[in-house]
Amino acid sequence: MNQEDLTKAIKALQKAGNITQTGVVDKRTADLMTRPRCGNTDDFVDDSRGDSEYRYRRKRFTTGSSKWPKTNLTFRFINYTPDMPQATTRQLISDAFRVWSDATPLSFKEVVDSSADIMIQFASQYHSDGYPFDGKGMVLGHAFFPGNDKGGDTHFDDDENWTANSTDGVDLFMVAAHEFGHALGLAHSGDPSALMYPWYMGFEGKFKLPEDDLRGIISLYGSGEKDRYLPEKDKIKVSMIPDSKRPPIIKPYDIDPTEKPKIKGKSNEPPDPCKSHIDALTVIRTEIFIFIGKWFWRMDSRKLIPNPVEIHQFWYGLPKEVEKIDAVFERPDSKIVFFSGDRYWVFNGNHRTNNFPQEGRPLTEFNIPADVKNIDAAFVWGYNMRTYLVSGDMYWKMNDNNTFVEYDYPRDMRTWKGVPVPVDAAFKDLDGKTFFFQETDFYEFYDMKMQVKPGYPKTFARHWLQCPEAQKVAAAPMISTVSVVNDENNVSSSVALQSHILLVLLLFYKLIVY
């Protein structure tokens, strides 16, 4: 991420929080970043138009692109938080629904079958919906707008300390009432006093639905009583958020009501990365992704992030037949290209691009000969910023648009002096350095001299993963950091604050889509 992108993201955050949009992390902005919040994105109406009424409306409630076509809704608990008795959880959830039913004709009934309109789940980290939680703190929950499949489903981060009627921990009632607003069709509000404001408000002893939220929900479903309609002069036009902004509907739940849902699979244990050969490795946005078999790990800076994820649980649209990733690279347009066997797939974020066939497309579409059965490595070379594909002792350079390989290829891998054949993976880090990988070793390449640097190979497990059994010691390549502009209040620009800023901006303003 460059400084221009970071400035835009900071302004987007400031816009959501009703802070003067300077693009600089001042004290108010930094304070906002430390507050826990909802995981749904902040989709406000564009205030680029000049009329003051339009800008004023942006600060008020907005609705999503859908609402329920009925008023009698059902919900089901997939599981419960261990932080309190189940009876307490059920009461708090019931109270949160009542916030909305008291203001509208809506009613909510608990059921035990999988046809419920709203599924309620406590989950940690990756939980098969494309929107992983981040551990304790920051993101508290998220919900899908009304619709089929996952529409209305509401998820709470199980790593939080959920409490009832207490200023300690995170008050489940307040978060649930907010998330159910999304499940009913309300987007985030720019009004800091609103329940649908993105940031956690904390426990309130005698909660009353704020006027902004009341107007929003009545605009969708009407009032529960005739005398509760707002005066005509107070009615505000509803700003519809485009369909592309709503959380994508992926697939329906398939849960047997008699079975305890499995949040994380335990039958297939991931391999030990310290004892495995990598299949593919690349940088996607600001993180290194390491693929081994059907699993992948992420590295942030020089630290391996625990809890690997199965590729099919995160990269939606890969066929089940794909058991490993042979190679992967990110295009200049931020699309991600996966290779497995003699086929490839293009992804936008963690979803297969629209109209791209699920079975993938053959390598021959790149003008690669039909007898090439797999790609060993794919990487963008920092020397000329062109994409290269490697298979066995041959390599190809792709054209500027990455649509096909150049006509005077393939060429012999011996051109890359000192690089072993065949390679398992290759990539360019954020500092522009080129690395090749084979089995347990890695090689740094001297681009200007077209040869491997002296002192290589080195052990991947020790130098990159800090595995204890390896013997050699050396510094792993650094991932570039993004500097934060300090303001007159001398807001800290420490590494910790930078990481926190990036987490907020990348998650909610989609400069990085996982």
Let me know whether 315 and 369 are in one domain.
Answer: yes
Which residues are part of a known binding site? Answer: 38, 83, 117, 127, 129, 134-135, 142, 151, 153, 155, 157-158, 160, 178, 182, 188, 196, 279, 326, 378, 424
pLDDT at 162: 94
179 is catalytic: yes
Domain holding 414, by residue range, is 273-463
CATH number of the structural domain spanning residue 96: 3.40.390.10
Let me know whether 423 and 326 are in one domain.
Answer: yes
pLDDT at 274: 84
pLDDT at 287: 81
Which of 32-41, 406-415, 460-469 is most confident?
406-415
* 3-state SS, residue 412: strand
pLDDT at 64: 54
- Interior angle at CA 69, CA 173 and CA 220, nearest 5: 60
Let me know whether 214 and 125 are in one domain.
Answer: yes
Q: Are 13 and 504 in contact (CB under 8 A)?
A: yes
pLDDT at 301: 63
Single out the catalytic residue among 179, 287, 330, 444: 179
Q: Does the pLDDT at position 329 exceed 80?
A: yes
Backbone phi, psi, residue 209, to 5° = -60, 120
Q: Does the pLDDT at position 389 exceed 90?
A: yes
pLDDT at 49: 33
pLDDT at 14: 72
pLDDT at 57: 32
Whether residue 251 is contained in a domain is answered as no
Of 202, 227, 245, the residue at which a domain comes to its end is 245
Q: Among 63-72, 84-93, 298-307, which stretch is predicted with the lowest mean pLDDT?
A: 298-307
Let me know whether 8 and 148 are in one domain.
Answer: no
Q: Are 180 and 143 in contact (CB under 8 A)?
A: yes
Whether residue 53 is contained in a domain is answered as no
CA nearest neighbour of 150 among 71, 287, 255, 284: 255
Greater confidence, 29 or 480?
29
Which of 145-154, 308-317, 338-347, 437-446 is most confident?
338-347
CA nearest neighbour of 119 among 43, 179, 50, 202: 179
Which residues are part of a known binding site for Zn(2+)? Answer: 38, 127, 129, 142, 155, 178, 182, 188, 196
Whether residue 190 is contained in a domain is answered as yes
Contacts of 408 (CB under 8 A, 6+ apart): none
pLDDT tens-digit profile of 247-296? 333 333 333 332 333 333 344 678 888 888 889 988 887 788 999 999 98
Let me know whether 451 and 490 are in one domain.
Answer: no
pLDDT at 84: 92
Contacts of 390 (CB under 8 A, 6+ apart): 327, 375, 376, 377, 378, 413, 422, 423, 426
* Segment 369-395 mean pLDDT: 91
Let me know whether 105 and 6 are in one domain.
Answer: no
Let me know whether 378 and 408 are in one domain.
Answer: yes
Q: Does the pLDDT at position 496 exceed 50?
A: no
Let me know whether 287 and 400 are in one domain.
Answer: yes
Q: What is the mean pLDDT of the chain?
A: 75
Confidence of residue 136 (pLDDT cuts 50, 70, 90): confident
The number of folded domains in the chain is 3
Q: Does the pLDDT at position 203 exceed 90?
A: no
CA nearest neighbour of 61 among 243, 224, 190, 248: 190
Whole-model pTM: value is 0.47
Q: Among 87-91, 106-110, 238-242, which stretch is predicted with the lowest mean pLDDT?
A: 238-242
Confidence of residue 485 (pLDDT cuts 50, 70, 90): very low
Which residues are part of a known binding site for Ca(2+)? Answer: 83, 117, 134-135, 151, 153, 157-158, 160, 279, 326, 378, 424
pLDDT tens-digit profile of 34-87? 666 776 665 543 433 333 332 223 345 555 557 899 999 999 998 999 999 988
Whether residue 412 is contained in a domain is answered as yes
Rounded to whole angstroms, how far apart are CA atoms 141 and 199? Answer: 11
pLDDT tens-digit profile of 137-196? 778 899 988 887 788 999 999 999 999 988 888 999 999 999 999 999 988 887 888 898
* Segment 124-138 mean pLDDT: 80
Percent of the chain with pLDDT over 70: 74
Rounded to whole angstroms, how far apart are CA atoms 435 and 454? Answer: 13
Let me know whether 193 and 286 are in one domain.
Answer: no
Contacts of 483 (CB under 8 A, 6+ apart): 3, 493, 498
Whether residue 478 is contained in a domain is answered as no
Percent of the chain with pLDDT over 90: 30
Whether residue 107 is contained in a domain is answered as yes
Let me know whether 94 and 135 are in one domain.
Answer: yes
Whether residue 57 is contained in a domain is answered as no
Let me know whether 227 and 369 are in one domain.
Answer: no
- Which residue type occupies 484? V
Let me know whether 283 and 404 are in one domain.
Answer: yes
pLDDT at 347: 92
Whether residue 252 is contained in a domain is answered as no
Q: Does the pLDDT at position 132 exceed 60?
A: yes
CATH number of the structural domain spanning residue 363: 2.110.10.10
